[in-house]
Amino acid sequence: MLAHKGTQRIETERLILRPFKLSDANDMFKNWASDDEVTKYLTWPTHSSIEVSQMIIDSWVAAYEDSRYYQWAIELKENHQAIGSISLMNVDDEKECGEIGYCIGRRYWNQGIVTEAFQALIPFCLNEIGIERLVARHHINNSASGRVMRKCGLSYEGTLRKVEKNTQGEFVDCCYYSILKDEYPCSK
C-alpha cells in the first residue's frame, strides 16, 4: 500500500523542489515551455503564449488537493526562478510503481541540475511513498536524458518501439530505465 504524501518541498544543494505557484507562469513560459528545442522530445507542444503556461499551472495548482498528485517546480536557489519541472506520474497503487518525468530550460542543460533533482526524488518515492519500482523513459534520440537516468542509478531495461506519440502525432521509440526499492542503497 502506497503512502501518498502529495508534492512536498524538497531541498538540495542548489535547488528547491516545490509545488508550482500561479506566479510561476512567466518563469515557465520564458525558461522552458516556449522553447521548441526543449519540447522537441516531449509529449506536449511548445507553449504558444504565457496564457497556455498559466492554464497548465492553474490545473496543477488545483490538482495539489489530491495527495496522489506529484508535480514539482525546479527552483534554482541562486535566482529563485522556476527553471523546469519534475513529476511522479503514472502511479499505480496496486503494482506500487510510478514514473519520473522532467523538463528543464535549455540554458540550464549540462549542469547536473536534473540529475540533482531526480536523485532527491528517488528516496522520497521509494522510502516515503513506498514505491517498489521507479521508472523513467526517454525518446530514443534524447541520449542526454538517458545519461541522467544512469547517473541516478537506474538500469536500462530496453527500448519499446513506437510506444509513445510525439507532438506531431507520430509514434516514437522510447528507452526505459528503472530502479527497484531493494536496489537503492538507502532503502529502509
In 3D space, the residue among 124, 146, 73, 125 whose CA is nearest the CA of residue 103 turns out to be 73
Taking the C-alpha atoms of residue 177 and residue 135, their distance in angstroms, rounded to an integer, is 6
- With a cut of 80, say whether residue 111 has pLDDT above it: yes
The one-letter amino acid at 84: G
Q: Following DSSP, what letter does each residue of 15-72 receive, concatenated?
A: EEEEE--GGGHHHHIIIIIT-HHHHTTSSSPPPSSHHHHHHHHHHHHHHTTSTT-EEE
Query: What ranges do the domains of the chain cover?
Result: 10-132
Q: Over the stretch 87-97, which tens digit does the pLDDT of each residue have?
A: 999 999 999 99
What class, spelled out in words, does domain 10-132 have in CATH? alpha beta
Taking the C-alpha atoms of residue 27 and residue 56, their distance in angstroms, rounded to an integer, is 13
Q: DSSP state, 150?
A: H
Q: Is the separation of the CB atoms in 41 and 146 below 8 Å?
A: no
| Class of residue 94 by CB neighbours under 10 A (exposed 0-12, middle 13-18, buried 19+) | exposed
- With a cut of 90, say whether residue 11 has pLDDT above it: yes
High-pLDDT (> 70) share of the chain, %: 98
Which distant-in-sequence residues (6+ apart) come within 8 Å of 15 by Cβ? 74, 75, 76, 77, 113, 116, 117, 120
- Identify the pLDDT of residue 186: 64
Q: Over the stretch 27-64, which tens digit does the pLDDT of each residue have?
A: 999 999 999 999 998 889 999 999 999 999 999 999 99
